[in-house]
Amino acid sequence: MIELQLKPTIYTYESCQEFVNELKIGQGDLIVTNEYIYEPNFGEMNLPCAVIFQEKYGMGEPSDEMAEAMYRDMPKDVTRIIGIGGGTIMDLCKLFSLRHVSPILDLFDGKKPIEKGKELILIPTTCGTGSEVTNVSVMALISRNTKKGIADDAMYADKAVLITQLLKTLPFKVFATSSIDALVHAVESALSPHSTPSFRLFSYHAIDLILHGYMEMREKGLEARGPLMKNFLLASNWAGIAFSTPGCAAVHAMSYPFGAKYHVPHGESNYVIFIGVMNCYMSIKSDGEIARLNAFIAEILGCDVDHVYEELENLLNTILPKKALHEYGVTEEDLAEFADSVMKNQGRLMSHNFVELDYDKVYSIYKALY
């Protein structure tokens, strides 16, 4: 069993100029990003490298169709792929760094070998995905009406770069959904049967930083997040390390069909499912790691452990008000469809559950959240 695995070398910089100077960004490089990120932070540098703006190929989260269109337009002689953005950019760039990219469905179906083709540098501009330190890429598979992830060590970045400057203009909604996503990563990895004491160090430290940050924002106002952004960036990175091998689980698995059908941002769809899964776990097994986790969170929140999920949800609601599934347009007929999709398509994630969940349990969670 792997006790701890850290693949990318992690760099930190205060400014984008420091990053460009030290890593000598130039010819032979391809930057994949968004124009609203690139122009204010890199536009005046006149970098002599190729740049592709993801939003020209569609909005929202990544899909196989978006990736195919971008790959067709990519210069093929680049030696480094540099992804600067949120989870969408990260997931796309992991695929673009491979030797064999198209057709993308063949990668997800295991019909093409997953082999490293180019150096990969990943730079997050949100504080949630932790994707810069994981080997997972998740795409919406349009023809199949679901999301699916693939995981392979060939998709680890060579370098993960944290630049504080890039988070200073992060819109609040993106901050909220991405940081809650990081919290879910930390919790699911802590509970994974594949975790270890070393991985859990990162899980618990990430939970601590995120919850204390939220509590300070609740006390001082939501705009008090400014000085906390470096902490949230670190917490996201630690949560990414925490789930890089132990994996995420039912929260992510159950958010995928819901998020894909109703176009709900990844962190928000996770948030909707999160406490429902935790309550289900507790109804099946209330001792072991989940008892330790609940006690840890209760101590941070200053509440009785019996009310920890209620108090956690109250805190999260100050950051992002939670909605029921039906408020997104979900129908009762969708619930069985979602549960069926989870059991058929999300075996990789469901294997990381704290306890085993069958179709009936998955359906009951959706029903309780409806």
Half-sphere exposure at residue 244, Cβ-oriented, CA atoms within 13 angstroms: 27
Query: What is the count of structural domains for the chain?
Result: 2
Backbone dihedral angles phi then psi of residue 34, each to the nearest 5 degrees:
-115, 145
Domain annotation covers residue 179? yes
Q: How far is CA 277 from CA 39, 81, 255, in A?
A: 41, 37, 11
Would you state the pLDDT for residue 264?
Answer: 94
- The larger pLDDT score, comparing residue 145 to residue 63, is at 63
Would you state the pLDDT for residue 6?
Answer: 86
In this structure, are 338 and 202 located in the same domain? yes
In this structure, are 252 and 119 located in the same domain? no
In this structure, are 178 and 127 located in the same domain? no
Burial of 270 (0-12, 13-18, 19+ CB in 10 A): buried
In this structure, are 228 and 147 located in the same domain? no
Q: How far is CA 77 from CA 31, 64, 94, 112, 174, in A?
A: 13, 22, 17, 21, 34
Task: Please say if the pLDDT value at position 204 is more than 90.
Answer: yes
Q: How far is CA 370 from CA 325, 335, 341, 361, in A?
A: 5, 8, 17, 14
* Rounded distance between C-alpha atoms, residue 120 and residue 101, angstroms: 14
Would you state the pLDDT for residue 5?
Answer: 85
Nearest to 82 by CA among 40, 20, 14, 126: 20
Would you state the pLDDT for residue 38?
Answer: 97
Question: Residue by residue, what is the 3-state secondary structure of 64-86?
Answer: HHHHHHHHHHCCCCCCEEEEEEC
Confidence of residue 129 (pLDDT cuts 50, 70, 90): confident
List, in sequence order, the alpha helices (H) in the chain.
16-23, 35-42, 64-73, 87-96, 104-108, 172-191, 197-220, 229-244, 250-262, 266-284, 289-301, 308-319, 332-345, 347-350, 359-369
In this structure, are 101 and 179 located in the same domain? no
Task: Please say if the pLDDT value at position 190 is more than 90.
Answer: yes
Task: Please say if the pLDDT value at position 218 is more than 90.
Answer: yes
Which of 167, 183, 216 terminates a domain? The answer is 167
Task: Please say if the pLDDT value at position 22 is more than 90.
Answer: yes
Task: Please say if the pLDDT value at position 119 is more than 90.
Answer: yes
Domain annotation covers residue 4? no
For the chain, the C-alpha Rg in angstroms (whole number) is: 20
| Residue 72: both structure tokens together | 């067709």
Would you state the pLDDT for residue 147?
Answer: 84
In this structure, are 148 and 253 located in the same domain? no
Domain annotation covers residue 90? yes
In this structure, are 187 and 282 located in the same domain? yes
What residues does 141 pair with on adjacent strands?
Answer: 146
Return the SS3 of 15.
Answer: coil
Which of 98, 132, 167 terminates a domain? The answer is 167
Confidence of residue 98 (pLDDT cuts 50, 70, 90): very high
- 227-274 tens-digit pLDDT: 999 999 999 999 999 999 999 999 999 999 999 899 998 899 999 999
Q: What integer is the mean pLDDT of 65-93?
A: 96
Q: CB neighbours (10 Å) of residue 290?
A: 19
In this structure, are 217 and 365 located in the same domain? yes
In this structure, are 237 and 312 located in the same domain? yes
Nearest to 342 by CA among 263, 264, 267, 253: 253
Domain annotation covers residue 2? no
Q: What integer is the mean pLDDT of 4-19?
A: 93
Q: What integer is the mean pLDDT of 334-348?
A: 96
Task: Please say if the pLDDT value at position 88 is more than 90.
Answer: yes
Domain annotation covers residue 84? yes
- 289-325 tens-digit pLDDT: 999 999 999 999 999 999 999 999 999 999 999 999 9
Peptide bond into 193 cis (omega under 30): no
Give me the domain span that covers residue 39. 9-167
In this structure, are 163 and 180 located in the same domain? no
Domain annotation covers residue 1? no
* Rounded distance between C-alpha atoms, residue 141 and residue 139, angstroms: 6
In this structure, are 316 and 198 located in the same domain? yes
Dihedral angle computed from the Cα positions of residues 251, 86, 204 and 230, in that order, rounded to the nearest 10 degrees: -150
In this structure, are 243 and 295 located in the same domain? yes
Which of 149, 167, 185 terminates a domain? The answer is 167
Confidence of residue 1 (pLDDT cuts 50, 70, 90): confident
Half-sphere exposure at residue 178, Cβ-oriented, CA atoms within 13 angstroms: 28
* Rounded distance between C-alpha atoms, residue 41 and residue 96, angstroms: 23
* Rounded distance between C-alpha atoms, residue 35 and residue 42, angstroms: 10
CATH number at residue 237: 1.20.1090.10
- 139-174 tens-digit pLDDT: 999 988 888 889 999 999 999 999 999 998 889 999
* Rounded distance between C-alpha atoms, residue 53 and residue 33, angstroms: 5
Distance, C-alpha 351 to centroid of its chain: 18
Would you state the pLDDT for residue 270?
Answer: 97
Domain annotation covers residue 194? yes
Task: Please say if the pLDDT value at position 202 is more than 90.
Answer: yes
